[in-house]
Amino acid sequence: MTAARGGTQSIERSIKLMRALAARARFGWRLSDLARHCDIDKGTARRILTCLVRERLAERSPADQRYLPGPLLFELGLALTDFDEFKMAAYPLLDQLSSQTNAVGFLCLRSGDDLVCAARIGEVPDHAFTLNLGTRRPLAGSSGGAALLITLPAEERQALFERNCLALTQQATSVHPSLERLLNQSLEMGMGYNEGRLVPGWNSYAIALFQKQEAFASVMICAPAGHFTHARLENSLAVLKRTAQRLQDISETVFGRQRRPEPCPPFIPARVTPERLLDNLHERRERRKATSSAPGTQHTVPQ
């Protein structure tokens, strides 16, 4: 292995570990389970995690020493102001969607092979639908992800679907048939369409949002199957489509506009300390006083 490849591999492994940490942010990981999940040697995983903890990209639970996502991940995300603006603009629309359909409303973002819950309005029992804010799961594991999958070219979609099935098989057995039926029905309906395929007694429907002709997010509703009678389902899907269009318009405004360059702060050399700046300011003031008190000198008072 070359030195360049070794450095790149370390970065790839670090990212893999951070993705896994984010996927179980509420519960954390034991070292052995995390290393096995990421297919990384336990000793290597420990060394990488030690570095991540030191840099605050990961942390350890005081109670049981499990590994959790670190605060630096949140701090770095604050720089993506467009995504924050888009998410905040989505909340009132999700609130309307939830109240008009009497269902739980979600905004989800695509993250590679995964789906991430970016916003949620409404409550369901935890045992029924565990897609909470920040939750990551394979795209094939929800109607929100299926809405994104069906927008991909057939070959790319199938390859991603197989990777998702492999990842989900590590968590549960015999998931492939259910996921395949969910994907096929979504392809047929032209939207994410899940009627009890994943959680018995619960239905969910989703529509993809696009950025630069690629699906990057989806808006989804979820409720008990008995809630969606024929007439109510027709009305709920109409509301969902209107909400998706409004979110699409907002995303084009937020992500499509040209940024104005932000004014640069004054340049201060790194080695100039605050104390030195105050000394310089004092010296300049003393020089001005000396100049103004010299005979025959005229000066103006700063406004």
Instruction: Encode pLDDT of 241-288 as tens digits.
Output: 999 999 999 999 998 865 555 554 444 444 445 555 566 666 766 776
Average pLDDT over the chain, rounded to an integer:
83
Percent of the chain residues past pLDDT 70, beyond the cut: 78
Report yes or no on whether pTM surpasses 0.85.
no
At residue 231, the pLDDT reads: 84
Average pLDDT over residues 107-115: 94
Predicted confidence (pLDDT) per residue in 80-102, tens digit: 888 999 999 999 999 999 999 99
At residue 178, the pLDDT reads: 85
Per DSSP, the residues of the chain read --HHHHHHHHHHHHHHHHHHHHHTTTT-B-HHHHHHHHT--HHHHHHHHHHHHHTTSEEE-TTT--EEE-HHHHHHHTT-HHHHHHHHHHHHHHHHHHHHHTSEEEEEEEETTEEEEEEEES---TTT----TT-EEEGGGSHHHHHHHTTS-HHHHHHHHHHHHHHHHTTSSS-HHHHHHHHHHHHHHTSEEEESSSSTTEEEEEEEEEETTEEEEEEEEEEEGGG--HHHHHHHHHHHHHHHHHHHHHHHHHHHSPPPPPPPPPP--TT--HHHHHHHHHHHHHHHHHHHTSTT-------
200 pLDDT more than 70: yes
At residue 266, the pLDDT reads: 46
